[in-house]
Amino acid sequence: MFDRKKHPRRTSKMVVFVAFILLTATTLPPALGAEAAESDIGTQLHPAVPCRLDHLPEIEIAPGISGRIAWNKHVMINRMTVNPGSVFPFERLGSECITLVMEGRIEQYWNGGYVTMNSRGYERMTPVSGHRGKHDFMLLEKGTEHAFFTKSESAVVYEFYSPPRRDLIEKAGVADLPSPAADVPLPAEPSVTPGAVNDLYDVQFTGIADGIWSRLINGRHIQLSFGRIDPNGEFAENSMSPERIRIVTRGDLRQTAGKASHDMPQSTMIHIPEGMAHREATGGKGCDVLDIIAPVCPEYVKKMAAQLAKFHELIPEGETIELVADGAVSGPGLCYTEGPSWIDGRLYFSNMAYDAGWKGFPEKSALVAMDPYGTYRYVNTGLELNGTFPLGNGNLAVCDMYGRRIVEMSTGGEILRTLADSWDGTPFDGPNDLAVDDKGGIYFSDPQIVPKPHYQPGRSIFYRRPDGEVIRVMEPGVLAKPNGLILSPDCKMLYVNSTPENFMMAGDIQPDGSVTNYRKFGRIRLTPEILDQESINPQVDGMTVDDKGNVYITSILGLQIFAPSGNFIGYIHFPLMPVNCCFGDEDGRTLYINCNDKVYKIRTNVKGAAYTLKRNR
């Protein structure tokens, strides 16, 4: 336990620092002023010359805490390795600081007490696990009291300061520093509340250039840009005015700065001075970079505000997810929930029974009916069901996956008839997801994920016409694993996920129900863990669409939202990977999201198109 008597306050300057993977942003700050904080400390990094962060000399910050520091005129980074049971002693900050925990856990002092800040990577999703990643950060303003300690585990903490800290530079052995410059008013409003614990993965992406998306965090003077650069990118030369320190946090980057070009692997850093022309190129897996910028870049602030405005047109500002049902502790129990549909005041969905190795147990599976407050019951048991979708007559079209068929089922759980069980005389291999058009026809995917034998020549998409005839609308092999699918509100477009290149697909629906002109639609945002795999499994699943034509797709990163043009709008983060979703409630403006054994909801400003189609038939 931390003992303040053993660790009295100090009045030097010091803070916790962390930077290493991905991107960040939050609320919209007002316009920036022209003035910026200045520092006369100078630069340790040579302009446009790469170096390795892990090759910098280590300095002792405190007993059990070592750091590697780098700085330029306006900013400093301090990568600290913290041993278990170590204490960062009290100090009053002489610089603005952003603290980011990249590994482990710390207890951070704030406002007279301690708050926990921790970090973990994404778990690969299984039916019994799949927790989201987490990297906590905190903005600490100049003059704030600062301290932290670790308990039984180690931690890696990055601190970013503006202006650079003279006491750390002196610890690094740099002598004869000039006197500090006078304070100059700082130019921006922070994008996060100072002293609040935030999660990097809750920060929205901002498009800052073609093929470059970033999570932005703004302090009053310092700005962090956790950027993702698309694969196989060649980007035009630019010369953004604020100077920056750039660190490659994933992948490989070909960085040109000034007249020199360098191959920069992970953990390489480079100083790009104010106004220096630079451009980037990436390989097949793209690249993640962290830019530490000061003063705050006004152009980035404007782009962040515009991106957030688009997101809040759909998801109200301040709206958060709400846990509706936790099948681990309530009701008859839930395992892996899928295929939600809203009918007549209730949410219906499949409860699929699997073990950690994806072995299915149909005898333990069920169709579930749940009211909006989370009370639920089984209405059918003994079938490994998957996708469901409302029919115009008030019943459900349901994928009986292990039964290799599409059935019509009443809301009481009675199977009324088989709608489709074969194509061209050959049984299906296990229908997975489906969508019903405004004529009563049914599109469904057959990805061959059930146990063998398999009868179809490959993974395909089919269409059951209203008269009962079944046609194949995607040839085998076009997609590695066609899974979730949905229709545009006018039923003229079919969306399906996903390609090995991390795109959804869109195809044009013809009058006879066939689909032509399949093409890439909307690049899926993935986690670093997925992008670094040799063979990428995007881990995307069910989809829905609103009455404006925006497409919502569940993924390991969260519920991702795309405009009808395919442009990325934003995403909603969940404690577990969401696997399917639909709109519901009496006004059709609530998104319900299935996440393993839990169901969440969030209110929106739009209405679900599937809800509109059902009511208008």
| Contact call for residues 278 and 237 (beta carbons, < 8 A) | yes
Confidence category of residue 613, pLDDT binned at 50, 70, 90: very low
| Contact call for residues 253 and 279 (beta carbons, < 8 A) | no
Residue 531's pLDDT is 73
The residue-averaged pLDDT of 281-303 equals 92
Residue 155's pLDDT is 97
Residue 18's pLDDT is 30
At 162, list the tokens. Answer: 């503006």
Inter-CA distances, 567 with 17, 69, 506, 550, Å: 34, 38, 13, 10
What ranges in 468-591 are assigned the alpha helix state H? 528-531
The 10s digit of each residue's pLDDT in 139-164 is 999 999 999 999 999 999 999 999 99
CA 233 to chain centre: 21
Residue 235's pLDDT is 84
- The pair phi, psi for residue 253, each rounded to 5°, is -130, 135
Closest to 609 measured CA to CA, from 566, 554, 548: 548
Confidence category of residue 10, pLDDT binned at 50, 70, 90: very low
Residues for the chain: how many in total? 617
Please give the order of strands across the beta sheet that includes 559-562: 540-545, 551-555, 559-562, 568-572
Distance linking the first and last C-alpha atoms of the chain:
65
- Half-sphere exposure at residue 491, Cβ-oriented, CA atoms within 13 angstroms: 17
Q: Tell me which residue has tokens 């005898």.
A: 363
Cβ partners under 8 Å of residue 407, min gap 6: 397, 398, 400, 415, 416, 417, 418, 419
Helices (H) and strands (E) in the chain, counts: 4, 44
At 534, list the tokens. Answer: 């040799």
In the predicted model, is pLDDT for residue 521 greater than 50?
Answer: yes
Record the pTM.
Answer: 0.89
Among left, alpha and beta (phi > 0; psi -120 to 50; other), residue 594 is beta
The 10s digit of each residue's pLDDT in 303-321 is 999 999 999 999 999 999 9
Strand, helix or coil for residue 612: helix
**What percentage of the chain exceeds 90 in pLDDT?**
70
Confidence category of residue 180, pLDDT binned at 50, 70, 90: low
In the predicted model, is pLDDT for residue 22 greater than 50?
Answer: no
Residue 533's pLDDT is 66
| Contact call for residues 249 and 22 (beta carbons, < 8 A) | yes
The 10s digit of each residue's pLDDT in 334-364 is 999 999 999 999 999 999 998 888 888 999 9
In the predicted model, is pLDDT for residue 33 greater than 50?
Answer: no
At 237, list the tokens. Answer: 């030369």
Closest to 161 measured CA to CA, from 67, 268, 89: 67
The most distant pair of C-alpha atoms in the chain lies apart, rounded to whole Å, by: 87
Strand, helix or coil for residue 456: coil
User: What does pLDDT average to over the chain?
Assistant: 87
Residue 20's pLDDT is 30
| Contact call for residues 154 and 83 (beta carbons, < 8 A) | yes
**What percentage of the chain exceeds 70 in pLDDT?**
88
In the predicted model, is pLDDT for residue 536 greater than 70?
Answer: no
The residue-averaged pLDDT of 585-614 equals 89
Residue 34's pLDDT is 30
Confidence category of residue 173, pLDDT binned at 50, 70, 90: confident
- What span, in angstroms and rounded, lies between the C-alpha atoms of 467 and 204? 45
CB-neighbour burial class of residue 417 (10 A; exposed 0-12, middle 13-18, buried 19+): exposed
Confidence category of residue 174, pLDDT binned at 50, 70, 90: confident
